[in-house]
Amino acid sequence: MNALRWWWGILLTFALLGIARVFLPLPFMNEVVIFSIYAMGCNFLIGRVGYISFGQPAYLAFGAYACAFYLFYFGTNPYVGILVGVLGGLIVSLLIGPLFVRLRSDYFAMVNLALAVIVFYLTQKVLVGITHGDNGLWFLTRISSTPLLDLTIPSHFFIFSLLLAALVWAFYKYLDDSIYGACCLATKINENKLQFLGYHNFSIRLLAFVIANSTTALAGAMYAVYLGFVSPEMASPSRAADPVIVTILGGVGTLFGPIVGAIAYTGMKDVISKLIGNWELFIGFLLVFIMLVADKGIWGSLAPVLEKWLFRRKSPDSRGHD
């Protein structure tokens, strides 16, 4: 029974996503699934460790470019490409993590944003020789077909990304329930107390930083394989707030938040861009509005209502979903 409760949320969500595939266009669904993986990393950083990072596009670009370099210069297997992308993100975050996690949260946010801009310049101007600058790297035709799930076919890619998203989601759910997840939350709330309890704040934060940014790099690598090309636009500072907006829109620190946020954000982006064309105006004021009025986000405000409605007849100690 306990195991069932643990799993029902994930089964239901991804079954719903699978069903939605029938009604909604495929590119939209692919975008939503990749975006939700992207937002999950950011959500972990904000909700569990208390670090707001405006530099997520940098890690996205690290993953995407690592994957792209592999697919453009060396191999053809998309699975290996994604693995290389994740490894790239892992190595980079291990290298810069020790420097960044020492910082206060406000400095952390600013340094990360600066990093995103630097990565943008790096890919656009400095490393033109291997990144081809603004033209980007095109390798869609180089990706080879693989047996079971052929990633070059969008519908197969959707199944793959859905499975991967479920895996990532389950991983974060597991983290949340573990002692480590509790430690992360404790560094956010009261780091001194945690230190007195004998835990090492630095290593907890470093691990969280590496986990979250590897997830982001995974999303980047998936974008690279899905689109078949990468360009510096990925790390553009004007998109720096995207994952933060999605996370806050969905509900900070909730497990379903990133998915709900990704659906809402991608949907609005499609509709609004078609209607008024001035996307920045809308998203900017939406962000201000959310921050001022409903900073719990969509899922954060919806969950208590749903819980009350769904679990009315259950005993009060049942945890339900969170």
Pick from 285, 301, 304, 306 the residue near other proteins by CB under 8 A: 285
* Residue 278 engages other proteins in binding (rule: CB under 8 A): yes
190 counts as binding other proteins under rule CB under 8 A: no
Instruction: Between 165 and 248, name the residue whose CB sits nearer to other proteins.
Output: 248
Q: Which residue from 17, 58, 61, 122 is in contact with other proteins, where contact means CB under 8 A? A: 122
User: Which of 39, 27, 28, 32 is closest to 246 using CA atoms?
Assistant: 39
- Nearest CB to other proteins, comparing residues 280 and 317: 280
Interacting positions 96-115 with other proteins (CB under 8 A): 99, 102-107, 109-111, 113-115
Based on the shown chain and the rule CB under 8 A, indicate whether residue 317 belongs to the binding site for other proteins.
no
Length of the chain: 322
Distance, in Å, from the CA atom of 101 to the CA atom of 124, rounded to the nearest integer, reads 27
Residue 211 Cβ vs other proteins, minimum distance, rounded to whole Å: 20
* Minimum distance from residue 294 beta carbon to other proteins (Å): 13
Residues 41-80 that bind other proteins (CB under 8 A): 52, 54
Which residue in this structure is represented by tokens 């699978």? 18
Give the nearer residue to other proteins in terms of CB position, either 106 or 317. 106
CB 139 to other proteins: min, Å = 25
Under the criterion CB under 8 A, does residue 126 sit at the interface with other proteins?
Answer: yes
Q: Does 183 bind other proteins (CB under 8 A)?
A: no
Q: Pick the closest to residue 220 from 106, 92, 50, 48 (CA basis).
A: 92
Check binding of 268 to other proteins (CB under 8 A).
no
* Least Cβ distance, residue 102 to other proteins (angstroms): 5
Instruction: Kindly state whether residue 134 participates in binding other proteins, applying the rule CB under 8 A.
Output: no
Q: Which is nearer to other proteins, 181 or 237 (CB)?
A: 237
Give the binding-site size for other proteins (rule: CB under 8 A): 40
Q: Is 273 in the site for other proteins (CB under 8 A)?
A: no
264 is an interface residue for other proteins by CB under 8 A: no
In three-state form (DSSP H/G/I as H, E/B as E, the rest C), the secondary structure along the chain is CHHHHHHHHHHHHHHHHHHHHHHCCHHHHHHHHHHHHHHHHHHHHHHHHCCCCCCHHHHHHHHHHHHHHHHHHHCCCHHHHHHHHHHHHHHHHHHHHHHHCCCCHHHHHHHHHHHHHHHHHHHHHHCHHHHCHHHCEECHHHCCCCCCCCCCCHHHHHHHHHHHHHHHHHHHHHHHHCHHHHHHHHHHHCHHHHHHCCCCHHHHHHHHHHHHHHHHHHHHHHHHHHHCEECHHHHCHHHCCHHHHHHHHHCCCCCCHHHHHHHHHHHHHHHHHHHCCCHHHHHHHHHHHHHHCCCCHHHHHHHHHHHHHHCCCCCCCCCCCC
Of the pair 114, 164, the CB lying nearest other proteins is at 114
By CB under 8 A, the residues from 240 to 259 that bind other proteins are: 240-241, 244, 248
Interface ranges with other proteins (CB under 8 A): 52, 54, 99, 102-107, 109-111, 113-115, 117-118, 121-122, 125-126, 237-238, 240-241, 244, 248, 278-288, 291-292
